[in-house]
Structures are given as structure tokens and as C-alpha cells.
Amino acid sequence: MNVDGRDTLLNRPGLPDDLKVLYAKYPREDWNTVHTIGELGAFWLSRHEMFREFGRMLVSGVEDLREERVATDRFARWFAPRLSHFLGDLEGHHQIEDYQYFPLFAAADARLAHGFELLEEDHHVIHRLLERNAEAGRIFHRDLLEGSDRMAYSRDAYAVEADNLVRGLMRHLADEEDLLIPLLLEQGEGKFGGY
């Protein structure tokens, strides 16, 4: 693992087997078919889908700019508010999880406690990726607005940071869902503030 944890998160193939004890009973393909997800779980999944969509949108938007499928001035107006919304919402979501929900979930099933610690460690890695993304995005946006001859370089530097963030985020979201949704299905959402 490198010093900031990116290698671990970006290359993790999924949850370790010892954290799949409830997932074996409630596999993803049975969610909302065999087992009904309640409002809390549905809300969680919808937030995660929003983050996935924003991440895909930013990565594909930069690719559209690179391939000249969108004008630079139009992209510049589109890019900044979406990046700001994505980064801010993601950071807020992780703070709520770390301080409110993960302690409840970890206490609910001792077998899964270290899984929620793993997810919290992911948040630290993702936070560093967010900071790198924000800085690369700021430089890229500045170069876009100025029409700088450095724009192609800063665009490509941002694309690398965006790709790393989105890859790490996708791994984290899938692992979190595979740990959390089975726990909610097993124990019921009422225990955690759901209905």
C-alpha cells in the first residue's frame, strides 16, 4: 500500500471473505426481488447512484472536451458547478456516515465492525483523492477560462485525478452496499432510524 492508501482502494477486488457473512444470505441479485429493501436502504442506494452518475458525467465530460465534441466555453460553464456539487455532497455524505451511521452499524454486528472501519479508512483515502481532484479541477478550470496554452496539460492532469477518484469511489460504494444492505435486511431498518 502506498502512503495515502490509493493502491489498496483502487486495486481491492471487493470485500474480504470474512465480511461477506450476511452478503451470502442476502446477495445483491436478491435485493428487491427476494428481499425488500426499506426506505433507509433505498435512500442509501439512491445517493450512491447519484455519486456514480456525477462521477461518470465528469469523466465523460472531460473526454468530450478532449475529443472536441463540446466547445471549451460551454464546457467551462458546465464543469465548475458540477464538480463543486459532486465534491461537496460526497464529503458531506461521508461525514454523516463516519459520525452517525457507521458506529451504529458496527455495533449492530460485531462480525462486521472491522468492515465499517475499512469503509471509514476508504473515506480518508477518498478525501485525499477529493482534495487532489479539487486542486487539479481548479487549475484546469482556470486554464479553460484563460484560454491558456497549458489547458491540454491541465485537462489531462485533471482526467487522471478524476479517473482515480471515480475508480476508488466505485469500489468503495459497491463494498459499502455489500456490507450495509445485507445488515439492514438482516436486522431491520427501524433499529437504525429507518421505517
Note down pLDDT in tens along the chain; length 195 residues: 344 566 688 889 999 999 999 999 999 999 999 999 999 999 999 999 999 999 999 999 999 999 999 999 999 999 999 999 999 999 999 999 999 999 999 999 999 999 999 999 999 999 999 999 999 999 999 999 999 999 999 999 999 999 999 999 999 999 999 999 999 999 999 888 765
User: In sequence order, what are the residues at sequence separation of 6 or more whose Cβ sits closer than 8 angstroms to the Cβ of residue 57?
Assistant: 82
CB 187 within 8 A of CB 172: no
Residues 6 or more apart whose Cβ sits within 8 Å of residue 122:
5, 9, 168, 172, 175, 176
Q: Could you tell me which CATH number the domain at 6-192 has?
A: 1.20.120
The residue extents of the domains of the chain are 6-192
CA–CA distance, 130 with 135 (Å, rounded to integer): 9
